[in-house]
Amino acid sequence: MGTPTRPRPGQLTFAAPRRGKPPVHLADLAPGERKDFLTGLGHQGFRAKQLSTHYFERLVVDPDQMPDLPKAQRADLVAAALPQLLTPVATRVADDGLTHKKVWRLFDGALVESVVMRYPGRATICISSQAGCGMNCPFCATGQGGLQRNMSTAEIVEQVVSAARSLKAGELGPMPEGDAGPLRVSNVVFMGMGEALANYRAAIGAIRRLTDPAPDGLGMSARGITMSTVGLVPAIDKLAGEGIPVTLALSLHAPDDELRDELVPINTRWKVGEALDAARRYFDTTGRRVSIEYALIRDINDQAWRADLLGEQLAARGKGWVHVNPIPLNPTPGSKWTASRKGVEQQFVERLRAHGIPTTVRDTRGQDIDGACGQLAAVTA
């Protein structure tokens, strides 16, 4: 698969390049569609329920582990309904075995990343929704590579199912002494490669597969899922109306339009005030507190006056609706962008809290394994 053309500074790409589609997978389909899919392939419709149970509940894809299927048909059924979508290419481990980052090759050669982070009592996976990204934020490794294509619903879901399978099998190492840790994925964050709301249909399909009760889906709580966006205002409003109370995370990175136009080019379409208004509407509709993601970049957006401006803008929209996550920037090799000094970071946090805004510095993982989104895929390609 050819390397995409790097976008010019500030260029936004919404339409993904047209490429061949991955094979249809059971996870692409709503529960009510699976029976017709299998009968259309010449199999008995009730096999859909059996296959769903194996995939979503038992986390099994090996035909030999499906004794309830006719032996003569098992391989054909699995090949038809559960084709392999992701092939592991590279794995890096950090944080004493608690962080596992994988690069996956898709059917057409595109590379994407996912990261499993284990904490006491929970396991979080950060997943990709596009190969590359069209939002072109200059400090982001993925954005600088351009958009290759949208991922399918099943390609998104398979990242989570694969992680759940590895956790269940004990392949991600022991938890700290005294903590057995979960044997399942407890949290999913759409913060990997891509702008998920620019791949809206597939992303919503994935959320429904994650939250559908087992065996139709993984049976996760919507409250354990976070959807990150740079601020596609119409899509935020559409997401609010889906009736799935996932957490919204708005990647703001600057409180003033002049700087945000440069750092987050989507701001040339929807300004800071419009993005924050949409985030507030999301809270009003769903009751879910919104996270504001703010990558602290040394001498660029970490000034005390910008913390005050952000605090004022959030407080002006009410209380109790928002939480700020300052993120120490994980710099990409050769980039002019680097993390703020610790003292500056602390002052930024204190200024926000002084405005009554709950603020917590994000725990950063995997800095020694090309941890920033897009880095490992770039060096693997």
109/267 Cα distance (integer angstroms):
32
Q: Report how far residue 336's alpha carbon sits from residue 347's, in angstroms, rounded to the nearest whole number.
A: 23
The amino acid occupying position 379 is V
d(CA 381, CA 372): 16
Question: What is the SS3 assignment for 88-107?
Answer: EEEEEEEHHHCEEEEEEECC
146: number of CA atoms within 13 Å, CB side?
Answer: 14
Annotation marks residue 137 as catalytic: no
Range list of H helices, the chain: 31-40, 47-52, 74-81, 141-145, 153-168, 200-211, 233-240, 257-263, 272-286, 304-315, 342-354, 375-380
Q: Please tell me which residue in 33, 57, 113, 158 is annotated as part of the active site.
A: 113
User: Which listed residue (133, 137, 140, 373) is catalytic?
Assistant: 373
Cross-strand partners of 88: 104
Amino acid type, 182:
P
373 has catalytic annotation: yes
Cα distances (angstroms) measured from residue 191 to each of 126, 178, 226: 6, 30, 8
d(CA 247, CA 230): 14
Q: Are 155 and 86 in contact (CB under 8 A)?
A: yes
Distances (CA, A) of 179 to 95, 188, 256, 272: 16, 21, 44, 42
Q: What residue type is assigned to position 258 of the chain?
A: E
DSSP assignment, residue 339?
B
Catalytically active residues are: 113, 373
